[in-house]
Structure 1
Amino acid sequence: AEALGRGQSGILTESGTLHLVNQSYPFTVHFTGRPAGTPSAASQKGLKSKSMDNGEMGRKAVPKRSIHEFFAGSPKKVAGFDIDGCIITTKSGKVFPTSPDDWRILYPEIQPRLASLLKKGYKVVFFTNQMGISRGKLRPEVFKSKVEDILQTLQLPVQVFVATGPGIYRKPVIGMWQHLCEKANAGVTVDQSESFYVGDAAGRPVNWAPGKKKKDFSCSDRLFALNLGLQFHTPEEFFLGWKKAPFSLPTFDPRKLDSMARLCDPPTASLTSTSQEIIVAVGFPGSGKSTFFQTHIVPKGYEYVNRDTLGSWQNCVKACERGLKEGRSIAVDNTNPDPESRKRYCKSAGVPCRCFNFMASMELAKHNNRVSICSVTNLHLNKFVTPTLSEGFSEILQIHFVPNFADSQLEALYRQFSEG
Structure 2
Amino acid sequence: METRGRLWLESPAGGPAPILLPADGSALVLGRGPLTQVADRKCSRNQVALTADPGTRTVTVKQLGVNPSTAGARELRPGLEGVLAVGETLYLVNGLHPLTLRWEEPCAAAPEPRPATPPESSGEARDPEPEKKRRRKSSPGWEHLEKLLVFTAAGVQARAKVASFDLDGTLITTRSGKVFPTGPSDWRILYPEVPRRLRELEADGYKVLVATHAGLYRKPVTGMWDFLQEQANEGVPISKEDSIFVGDAAGRPVSWAPGRKKDFSCADRLFALNLGLPFATPEEFFLKWPVASFQLPAFDPRTVSPSGPLCQPEPSALLSSSPEVVVAVGFPGAGKSTFLMEHLVSAGYIHVNRDTLGSWQRCVSACAAALKQGKRVVIDNTNPDAASRARYLQCARDAGVPCRCFLFTATLEHARHNNRFREMTGSSHAPVSDMVMFSYRKQFEEPKPDEGFTAILQIPFRLQLEPQLERLYRQFSEG
Letter in 2 for 1:201: A
Aligned to 2:219: 171
Distance 1:50 1:220, change over 3 A: farther
Structure 1: state its 5+ residue gaps.
Answer: 1-48, 59-63, 129-162
- Give 3-state SS (helix, strand or coil) of 1:347's partner: helix
Match of 2:454 among 394, 400, 407: 394
Aligned to 2:303: 256
Aligned to 2:289: 242
Letter in 1 for 2:225: W
- Give 3-state SS (helix, strand or coil) of 2:307's partner: coil
| Structure 1 runs (4+) greater than 4 angstroms displaced | 49-54, 66-69
Provide the rounded CA distance (Å) in 1 between the counterparts of 2:153 and 2:365. Answer: 59
RMSD: 1.7
Letter in 2 for 1:293: L
1:361 aligns with 2:411: yes
Aligned to 2:196: 112
Aligned to 2:391: 344
Please show how residues 65-76 of structure 1 align to structure 2 within 5 Å: 70-76=154-160
Letter in 2 for 1:96: F
- Give 3-state SS (helix, strand or coil) of 2:211's partner: strand
Provide the rounded CA distance (Å) in 2 between the counterparts of 1:333 and 1:95. Answer: 44
Match of 1:332 among 379, 383, 386: 379
Letter in 2 for 1:290: S
Letter in 2 for 1:389: P
Alignment check: 8 A CA contact 1:347 1:392 kept: no
Q: TM-score, normalised by structure 2?
A: 0.66
Cα offsets for 1:228-273 (capped at 9, x unmatched):
0000000010011111111000111111122222110112342210
CA shift, 1:371, in A, is 1.2
Aligned length: 328
Aligned to 1:101: 185
CA shift, 1:326, in A, is 2.0
Provide the rounded CA distance (Å) in 2 between the counterparts of 1:122 and 1:71. Answer: 14
Distance 1:209 1:253, change over 3 A: same
Alignment check: 8 A CA contact 2:140 2:151 kept: no
Provide the rounded CA distance (Å) in 2 between the counterparts of 1:277 and 1:255. Answer: 37
Identity of aligned residues (%): 56
Structure 2: state its 5+ residue gaps.
Answer: 1-138, 424-429
Aligned to 2:165: 81
Q: TM-score, normalised by structure 1?
A: 0.75
Please show how residues 4-403 of structure 1 align to structure 2 within 5 Å: 52-57=142-147, 70-128=154-212, 163=213, 165-166=214-215, 168-212=216-260, 214-348=261-395, 349=398, 350-373=400-423, 375-377=431-433, 378-379=435-436, 380=439, 381-403=441-463
Task: Decide which structure has greater strand share.
Answer: 2
- Give 3-state SS (helix, strand or coil) of 1:236's partner: helix
Cα offsets for 1:110-152 (capped at 9, x unmatched):
0110011000000000112xxxxxxxxxxxxxxxxxxxxxxxx
Letter in 1 for 2:454: S
Alignment check: 8 A CA contact 1:88 1:103 kept: yes
Q: Which has the higher contact order (CA 8 A, sep 6+)?
A: 1
1:417 aligns with 2:476: yes
Letter in 2 for 1:376: V
Provide the rounded CA distance (Å) in 1 between the counterparts of 2:388 and 2:155. Answer: 59
Q: Which moved more, 1:95-104 or 1:117-126?
A: 95-104
Aligned to 2:84: none
Provide the rounded CA distance (Å) in 2 between the counterparts of 1:169 and 1:287. Answer: 25
Letter in 2 for 1:229: G
Provide the rounded CA distance (Å) in 2 between the counterparts of 1:270 and 1:95. Answer: 58
Provide the rounded CA distance (Å) in 2 between the counterparts of 1:53 and 1:204. Answer: 34
Alignment check: 8 A CA contact 1:264 1:400 kept: yes
Distance 1:293 1:315, change over 3 A: same
Provide the rounded CA distance (Å) in 1 between the counterparts of 2:156 and 2:232. Answer: 12
